[in-house]
A = this chain, B = another copy of it.
């Protein structure tokens, strides 16, 4: 069975950076939520594109920008659309997991891929460091106040929590749904990824000795 790593994360906590470092350290394929969503949305239109993506391990980071599926606002239609996307991405995530070792950020990967016994991470951080990270990462965010950024961060987190709850019936961020939760506030994410890579290579999920 392939080694699968899933990463849930608070918005602005550095989950994607951590995932990239980890994939790089391990030589695993890396898929983030935008990639998975984009593939799912395009899958009906461009089967060939999907297979192309699935044939190759995605080590580089695709410049795909897609509208967040949850930002659609057409009443009940939203459920139909996100529902079919969820079904498509469930299938795609499983195909990815069967194809090769991989790191998957977001998209309820921990839940959808439970049969693969993934090593499940959750990244979090305190609000000041998340605000600082958002400002550093997004050009549009440079001119926004701390209060505006905080409002946006909380709103994205709420969406993630709702999405996760809707599709898994579980509480997003509840430690019992994850194997390792990392506070990125002060943690050196690259050093953490290097250490975790060693753990992954050794096989972390064995029954502890009694």
What residues make up the interface of A, taking CB atoms closer than 8 Å to B?
14, 17, 117, 122, 124, 126, 132-133, 136-137, 173, 175-176, 178-192, 194-196, 198-199, 202-210
Contacts and interface: CB of A to CB of B under 8 A. Distances in A.
Taking each of A136, A181, A184, which has the highest tally of chain B beta carbons within 10 Å of its own beta carbon? Answer: A181
Taking each of A117, A180, A188, which has the highest tally of chain B beta carbons within 10 Å of its own beta carbon? Answer: A188
B14 A208 contact: yes
Nearest to A120: B183
Main secondary structure of the interface of A (DSSP, over half): mixed
A187 B204 contact: yes
Contacts of A137: 210
21 contacts: A14-B208, A117-B186, A132-B210, A137-B210, A175-B175, A175-B181, A175-B183, A176-B183, A179-B182, A179-B186, A186-B206, A186-B207, A188-B203, A188-B209, A191-B199, A192-B199, A192-B204, A194-B202, A195-B195, A195-B198, A195-B202
Contact of A206 (B182, B188, B208): B188
Contacts of A178: 181, 183
A191 B196 CA distance: 10
A181 B192 CA distance: 13
The 3 closest A-B CB pairs, nearest first, are A195-B199, A181-B181, A188-B206
B184 A208 contact: yes
Contacts of A203: 188, 191
Nearest to A202: B191
Contacts of A190: 208-209
Contact of A188 (B117, B173, B204): B204
Given A14-B208, A124-B175, 17 more contacts: A17-B208, A117-B186, A122-B175, A179-B182, A179-B183, A180-B180, A180-B187, A181-B181, A186-B205, A187-B204, A188-B204, A188-B208, A190-B208, A191-B204, A194-B198, A194-B199, A195-B196
